[in-house]
Amino acid sequence: MNTEELQKNKAHYLQLCREYIHRDGLEDLLAYLEKSDFFEAPSSTSFHLNEEGGLCKHTINVFETALALNQYITTPAIESGESMFSKPLKAESIAIATLFHDLCKVKLYHKKEKWKKDENNRWLSYPGYEIEDEFPLGHGEKSCLIVSWYMKLTAEEMLAIRWHMGMFDMGENGSSMRYSFRAALEKSPLVSLLIAADMLSANQKEKTTTY
């Protein structure tokens, strides 16, 4: 992304935060992000939006996708009585969960010159990223912690952010971890809403750059 796109996405992100979130600590959290690499960082090293500014763009995509899913799936199911849940989600909680779900990626990706061979078997350099985690606490866990430094999360917001990687977080983990994940899904519709919005955004709205 060019500088204009980066600035446009940054302004849009900040506008969404201030429009939908009205909780003590918001401005302190945004000040933290302003001083970090959140608005310039990629969303991944080699998958969706693995380019400068990808993290901010991905976050906006997840927010917009979650709002659409809530409007056309979650809310109608709750209102019709078909859902296992009875309490509609608050727009503020959706905003907090989506706009802050990937704060664990702040200061995580670092630019590095990488190499690959071309069709003639010659080495070529290309710009890339590598992971250097100064505080390897986990993915969703780390995002929850960072937000909690500045803003108080509700239980459902914390559960949604913690488990937003869904089954990607399960892997070789034991039965107690799988039980906790399943139990979290049953606590609030926000948990599965964030998982779905994140997956749909990453795999249907965001390209991977091949160098």
Six token digits for residue 66? 């979650």
pLDDT recorded at residue 173: 62
pLDDT recorded at residue 92: 98
Q: Which residues of 57-78 are buried (b: 16+ CB within 10 A; e: fewer)?
A: bbbbbbbebbbebbeeebeeeb
**Residue 7: CB partners within 8 Å, gap ≥ 6?**
none
Domain residue spans of the chain: 3-205
Residue with tokens 């446009």, as numbered in its chain: 8
Convert the pLDDT of each residue in 71-93 to its tens digit: 999 999 999 999 999 999 999 99
Convert the pLDDT of each residue in 97-130 to its tens digit: 999 999 999 999 999 888 877 888 888 887 889 9
Higher pLDDT, 123 or 200: 200
Higher pLDDT, 202 or 119: 202
